Chain A
């Protein structure tokens, strides 16, 4: 046996390793999802290409820039939504497999459990997005000569903090409602897509949706990434964006765990862990 910190580290790695085993067994599904991700990103890229033939050109409209704008949105949405859904589905997964009681009986802190799932999602998401990126670069001849990759990576890293907090908050839903929680996670994901400026600037939205976009961490992640990849904003230029994202993370991660702890206590009082329907 090893010490307390060592045992938590062992469990953290155990959750990530378990996810790896599960993905290996469901590898056909993963090929399907990868294909779907590639097709989605390519569709967005071709949509941008098609704008020219639809007569959307001239004036201040820059087709190459619009294409890159949309592709960055599609790629980043693909990555961040994967991390979000993996973490948000931490409980739903256990319900599907019937292992929720076993996992909740293990001598592991909940933060270790959820962070283990997030750790795998971050690494796996990076690998999958990298493949999609390679295909997109090969097909659309994307020009990153003006981009500041370091600046973009700093924003991407910072954006994970609030996203994990938000995902933990969402993972509570299947704990609160065994029947409807899973579908509600999808609704949260869809709403984030609508309000975060993935494919359009926030200014085109009606003001209530703009207000929702203003508090979505994805809005700042996307805007920051675009500034670095389209306009060459450096890591130093990104300090305000990184500050906002980390600030949101500082609020959302503890809030996520506090709400999860409350929900777990409630589930144990009402006997909701047992029900899988």
Chain B
């Protein structure tokens, strides 16, 4: 039996903050705990695209950060291809890469300089890197002339494509995509989604896709987990979830489970 790409058992994560209650004197701050993830169990087999759906604050990014060894769980155990994210962090990092909502680049450097840097961090020499960078950028529909321009001069969509190209350059076994299409214009969004469709068809790497775009999840994911308030509300393929809840869309499934629409949830988050 093959090792699962992700094996999470009883993982919980809470954040403690010292906050002042409304009306309380400036010096009185109470320590408050916000649970980002309640005890979570999850197994994801290798290959395909698994979607994590939920509004802001549902625990999606916390889960991604735990798998990326950027956060340690308070309790439980998270494994990536059989390696523990806490005790075998270096082994996990060799197999994982992440594309986040905010493209993490040295903005003054060019895509080429950022990608050479990434390539070196992942143990590759720069020999042949330029050819591979050009190939990957072409695959993503980026013009060749952007390769030596500072990142800050590129559009959000172009930056996000460079982020995806950078993750491909390091050949990850598990790709963590945290809202990769958020804030993109419709055309860039479609191009990024086309790349994801290719990855899904090839099944060579496992993709964990966090999104609050239900249509995107429906189109791209083999399996979908719905999260709200740090808890898993539903787990299954998009067709299974729709059938189980007698719903036409995943948005309707979410509404059936929570009594709220995703937009209302996000508006509420924005206010609080």
Contacts and interface: CB of A to CB of B under 8 A. Distances in A.
Interface of A: 1-2, 6-7, 10-11, 13-14, 17-18, 21-22, 25-26, 97-99, 101-109, 265, 268-271, 273-274
B120 A22 contact: no
B89 to A, nearest CB: 9
Nearest to B86: A268
Contacts of A265: 72
Contacts of A17: 116-117, 120
A6 B122 CA distance: 11
B104 A10 contact: no
Contacts of B150: 25
Contacts of B93: 105-108
Interface string B100-142: 1010111111000100111111111100000000000000000
Given A14-B121, A270-B15, A98 B65 contact: no
Contact of B108 (A26, A107, A109, A274): A26
Contacts of B16: 270
A165 B79 CA distance: 34
Given A97-B105, A271-B65, 7 more contacts: A2-B124, A17-B117, A98-B102, A105-B70, A106-B122, A108-B121, A271-B71
Contacts of B107: 97
Q: Pick from B93, B96, B119 the residue with the most CB of A within 10 Å.
A: B93
Q: Pick from B71, B104, B108, B120 the residue with the most CB of A within 10 Å.
A: B120
Given A105-B96, A271-B15, A11 B120 contact: yes
Given A25-B150, A107-B93, A268 B72 contact: yes
Interface size class of B (residues with CB under 8 A): 35 or more
Q: Pick from B97, B102, B117, B118 the residue with the most CB of A within 10 Å.
A: B117
A6 B98 CA distance: 24
B90 interface: yes
B125 A104 contact: no
Nearest to A100: B104
Contact of A18 (B72, B117, B122, B123): B117
B68 interface: yes
A269 B124 contact: no
A98 B120 contact: no
Contact of A22 (B98, B109, B122): B109
Given A1-B124, A11-B123, A21-B117, A104 B108 contact: no
B108 A25 contact: yes
Contacts of B118: 102, 106
Contacts of A99: 104-106
Nearest to B104: A102
Given A13-B120, A14-B120, A271-B15, A105 B108 contact: no
